[in-house]
Structure 1
């Protein structure tokens, strides 16, 4: 493939995705610091101070408290927060209600007292998240942004190919002084693009994977989950699930050394009509994002299956913290923010260089 062809590929793939990439960079910047922004604005709900060593409450008491706060609704998910004193429960009008119908209730994990109901679907961060993930267009919006991510990766790779001949002549990182402003900006555009190459490829590729989350979940349900629940196929769903505390204890005994991440009730997308799905994760930074589902019979309370999730599901789970840089604390978030700002500069300079070149050609 000639350099002229690579140049055309770089130009048009970049122009096709630049506007949306600028939007993604601008909306992604506050999302990197969503926890810090939540604390500063008072949106974060904190647990009540209790004596050290207070034992955790029975999970069925926690569920009862959440249901009392939302009369007439059922629990779909029970999630362990990063703060071990807080449990997040997602409730909906029915067990098979869509995600848009979910409401969140936070409950103290030790006293089973309701702490509050965060407004997850309003405010600045919610608007930024929806613009960043699906442009308020649902699954079609996610797939469209996934295609934009592929164009972004293509533009990045073609830009690196074009910079190769320039760097091989011993001028890597050089900015040609005394030339026109367009040449200086071209050199700066190339340098910043090459310096951020690895980060851009990681963020672009993980963004594409995240855009396919619904499709990955559908494949997992049709593949592994179907195999784990095959003996119950054709049986009526469980209408009154048994104690969730017993289901969690059964999963803990089957996977010692792992911690509970969340529980999915029967008839939800992460479970089956007959099981609690208890998702466990490792306790180290390396295994914290690696999940293992344990299926517990919702009627009888016994463990029926436990196996690691397949590679494609693990790829999705590992891509999420890489995309936002939220696995290494505030220093990594700051690094992600700086690289995000540099990428905005690269995108803006690329559009300006293309416009100046077209104006010069026309003249």
Structure 2
């Protein structure tokens, strides 16, 4: 049984972590819902790019990576190719990201090229449309890295709110049958019971999605640390060398062939070209993926010398990057097909109800429960007035 002091501490934690993060969690749940079905919605909106139909004899052929790169670069000859990779939904297409310089920038273009013919199919609508709006709001609220880290902090507050909510409500819920909603009580009590029920049902999911979302906000920092801690030592011989110009580089296809030779039957996830944040000034860095639902999210980097097409290094990803890569599909539920997406969507909707009902219960908390009785020490208000719950559920708050 919790002591009065422990209840006050847990109550304070639950109240303030819940109040601070609720509106941001509602934003993330609302924007995350369409992102679960981003491919399906993209098809409906006409944003998804599909490979044109060709005769069966041509469907298996592939042109060289150099041909595809030249076609993409011809669309924006004033830009340089930063990244390229196979389309996850359709391997007949490759995408190429181009920017003014190799360094990351908001001003970039993305072009889809048919791997069978080497012809440009269409440009992606970068920064346009409904799904891009949802994605940017969900990832960083249009605030870049500071926005990501801020949302990561909100995710941490959510995890604290979940743990403290379980600690405070567990004793009270033992007094009722699981799933009981007291329909004969006031509207507020019925919402309290529904809030508790949905909170318990979605608890594990909320914790998993909240934790993986928080980890994802650290992606840029984790990659930078990996480059500083591990990759920099491997690239010491190339330190301070200028970025290889296009004329100085050898054939792209030769570097792809080297990657495939050492890739242990893996597929290309993406390629980072010299000077970009995922590579070095002297290498084409291939990130290869497995062919199963799980291994397709685990990447193996191969640093291929862009001039000689020789393998320089094949570093193993450290545990923190492996954890990051595993957390990304788990966050959106996109590794188990449509059934998993539907389950994720239903749990997302239930979480929206939990967050909304928690806010409603706080706003509708009786004035006396907020301020405490006259002449007594004011009790902390919030979702966890556990002592009041034990005495009279009518005074409980979300």
Report the TM-score when normalising by structure 2.
0.87
Q: Distance in 2 between matches of 1:129 and 1:358?
A: 39
Q: Distance in 2 between matches of 1:301 and 1:358?
A: 72
Q: Which residue of 2 aligns with 1:123?
A: 129
Match of 2:212 among 189, 206, 227: 206
Q: Secondary structure at the match of 1:75?
A: strand
Q: Distance in 2 between matches of 1:236 and 1:13?
A: 48
Q: Distance in 2 between matches of 1:362 and 1:16?
A: 17
**Offset at residue 307 of structure 1 (A):** 2.4
Q: Distance in 1 between matches of 2:285 and 2:31?
A: 33
1:161-176 alignment, distance < 5 Å: 161-169=167-175, 171-176=177-182
**Offset at residue 5 of structure 1 (A):** 2.3
Comparing 125-134 with 50-59, which one deviates more in the overlay? 50-59
Match of 2:100 among 66, 89, 93: 93
Match of 1:49 among 53, 57, 76: 53
1:16 aligns with 2:20: yes
Q: Distance in 2 between matches of 1:188 and 1:7?
A: 20
Q: Distance in 1 between matches of 2:181 and 2:368?
A: 21
Instruction: Please identify runs of 4+ aligned residues in structure 1 that moved more than 4 A.
Output: none
Q: Which residue of 1 aligns with 2:357?
A: 349
Runs of 5+ in structure 1 lacking a partner? none
Runs of 5+ in structure 2 lacking a partner? 372-398
1:35 aligns with 2:42: no
**Offset at residue 169 of structure 1 (A):** 4.5
Report the TM-score when normalising by structure 1.
0.96
Of structures 1 and 2, the one with the larger relative CO (CA 8 A, separation 6+) is 2
**Offset at residue 360 of structure 1 (A):** 4.9
Confirm or deny: 8 A CA contact 2:294 2:335 kept in the other structure. no
Q: Distance in 2 between matches of 1:86 and 1:298?
A: 23
**Offset at residue 285 of structure 1 (A):** 1.3
1:309 aligns with 2:313: no
Confirm or deny: 8 A CA contact 1:247 1:301 kept in the other structure. yes
**Offset at residue 108 of structure 1 (A):** 0.2
Q: Distance in 2 between matches of 1:140 and 1:50?
A: 46
| Cα 1:254/1:292, change in 2 over 3 Å | same
Q: 1:39-87: per-residue Cα shift (whole Å, max 9, x none)?
A: 0111112111122343111110000111111122211111111201100
**Offset at residue 296 of structure 1 (A):** 0.6
| Cα 1:89/1:282, change in 2 over 3 Å | same
Confirm or deny: 8 A CA contact 1:291 1:308 kept in the other structure. no
Match of 1:185 among 191, 199, 204: 191
Q: Distance in 1 between matches of 2:367 and 2:66?
A: 69
Whichever of the two has the greater Rg, that structure is 2
1:1-363 alignment, distance < 5 Å: 2-52=6-56, 53-82=59-88, 83-96=90-103, 98-169=104-175, 171-239=177-245, 240-361=248-369
Aligned residues: 362
